[in-house]
Amino acid sequence: MSSSEKLIFEGDPTTNRLSRESLDDRPAPNPMLSFVIPVLDEEESLQTLCSKIESLCEEEHLSYQVILIDDGSRDQSWQVMETLATDHSRIAAIRLRRNFGKAAALSAGFDAAIGDIVITMDADLQDDPKEIPRFLKKLATGCDVVSGWKRVRHDPWHKVWPSRVFNWMVSKLTGVALHDHNCGFKAYRRQIFDEVKLYGELHRFVPVLASSKGWRVGEIEVEHHAREFGHSKYGVSRIFKGFLDLVTIYFLTGFANRPFHFIGAAGLSCFAVGGLGIVYLSAMWVISRLSTTMDDLNLHATAIFYYCILAVLLGAQFFLAGLLAELIVSLSRERNDPYSIADRVGVSDAQESNSNDLKQ
């Protein structure tokens, strides 16, 4: 494939890869950038966005590729993307068969990205490519992930305030203190996505997942522009989904390799509360039977007696579920190593391969 050939991907995103042969082989002093941009009904902004990226990269002498992923658009977005990919050798287009969600669209883009640095941004022109040099400078300080912070947001209040509460909760529960976890404008080192896999709606938690593996996370303040075209794709349901995703992330980052510590602790707590309640009620029943001044205690007529029995049964179920989860993790640990290696000295690839063979 020559550097002048145009690339258009359509169909299953998991099998589509962008070849290095499609880009100029000229050496670049700066790291190559891959812009991964999910698209959903953004036909009016795509041409302008790609032009801004091209101008910025030429001005900064950056080698780059732009990967546009159509996540089930119903307008003319795919036709615009197809034209852009045909006319520009550094632009590739991927079309998903339906709307799979932003995390799936990003995953398709990450699979096709070949740059040293991956930049994610929205296609609605609210993210400004002029911020890219500042992202690169922050990465050069030793960060592996740099997240944007939209201090001043041009969004309705009913989206801004819930987002701030959500960001505060994420920072407190995960220990990754970012002002704006929801910001889609981020920069990553490409190697991160060899270890961090996205599914569901976990795209906003990539910095948290990366941090749990030992990658260094930073943040810069970015300018946020008001939306010029189209409308927001997120409604009130995003708040509830975000909370459920937060619970998932809390579990994955803290207990993914030791689920029994979480589930078992919940089981022991329920079992202890229920057991103590039954012991107390039993003691009161005995005392009432022996006392001449107290009426006999009828346990079956006491609602708390049934609550205690329920707590004991629930605790036992949690305990068994924790044991099963621990067994599953133990059996899958050979396929998913619970660590991340930063560098190797004195260990060859052949030795690593032999070690993996012995595991199998």
Tens of pLDDT, residues 80-133: 999 999 999 999 999 999 998 888 899 999 999 999 999 999 999 999 999 999
| 308 and 228 within one domain | no
Flag whether 342 is in a domain. Answer: no
- Given a cut of 70, whether residue 47 has pLDDT beyond it is yes
- CA dist list (Å): 253 to 73, 144, 198, 209, 354: 33, 18, 14, 7, 29
Cα–Cα dist 122/47, whole Å: 13
Flag whether 1 is in a domain. Answer: no
Does residue 300 sit in helix, strand or coil? helix
| 263 and 249 within one domain | no
- Give 220's strand partners: 148
- Strands (E) in the chain, as ranges, are 7-10, 33-39, 64-70, 91-95, 117-120, 145-149, 186-189, 217-221
Flag whether 346 is in a domain. Answer: no
Flag whether 140 is in a domain. Answer: yes
- Given a cut of 60, whether residue 280 has pLDDT beyond it is yes
Cα–Cα dist 89/180, whole Å: 34
Flag whether 116 is in a domain. Answer: yes
Report the chain's mean pLDDT, rounded to a whole number.
Answer: 81
Question: Which residue is it, tokens 């068994």?
Answer: 320
Cα-Cα-Cα-Cα dihedral sign, residues 353, 257, 196, 136: negative
- Please answer whether residues 88 and 53 qualify as being in contact, where contact means their C-beta atoms are separated by less than 8 angstroms: no
User: CA angle, corner 55, sides to 50 and 56, nearest 5?
Assistant: 100
| 160 and 231 within one domain | yes
Flag whether 274 is in a domain. Answer: yes
Give the number of domains in the chain: 2
Q: Mean pLDDT: which of 8-22, 50-64, 288-302 is highest? A: 50-64
| 230 and 96 within one domain | yes
Domain that holds residue 109: 7-255
Domain boundary among 255, 287, 315: 255
Flag whether 343 is in a domain. Answer: no
- Given a cut of 80, whether residue 65 has pLDDT beyond it is yes
| 165 and 270 within one domain | no
Top pLDDT among 152 and 211 is at: 211
CATH code for the domain of 149 = 3.90.550.10
Does residue 317 sit in helix, strand or coil? helix
| 112 and 244 within one domain | yes
- Cα 175 off chain centre by: 15
| 233 and 267 within one domain | no
Look up residue 236 and give its two tokens. 């009130």
| 281 and 213 within one domain | no
Domain boundary among 192, 227, 255: 255
Cα–Cα dist 161/182, whole Å: 12
State residue 144's pLDDT score.
96
Cα–Cα dist 224/149, whole Å: 9
| 288 and 229 within one domain | no
| 270 and 250 within one domain | no
Residue type, 331: L
Flag whether 167 is in a domain. Answer: yes
| 327 and 217 within one domain | no
Q: Tens of pLDDT along 180-223?
A: 988 999 999 999 988 887 776 788 889 998 998 899 999 999 98
Q: Tens of pLDDT along 300-336?
A: 778 888 999 999 999 999 988 888 887 887 776 545 5
| 249 and 217 within one domain | yes
DSSP state of 192: G
Top pLDDT among 248 and 90 is at: 90
Cα–Cα dist 192/184, whole Å: 16
Cα–Cα dist 172/71, whole Å: 32
Q: How many helices (H) and strands (E) does the chain have?
A: 10, 8
DSSP state of 127: B
- Please answer whether residues 50 and 84 qualify as being in contact, where contact means their C-beta atoms are separated by less than 8 angstroms: yes
* Alpha-carbon torsion, ordered 137, 93, 97, 227, to 10 deg: 60
The model's pTM: 0.71
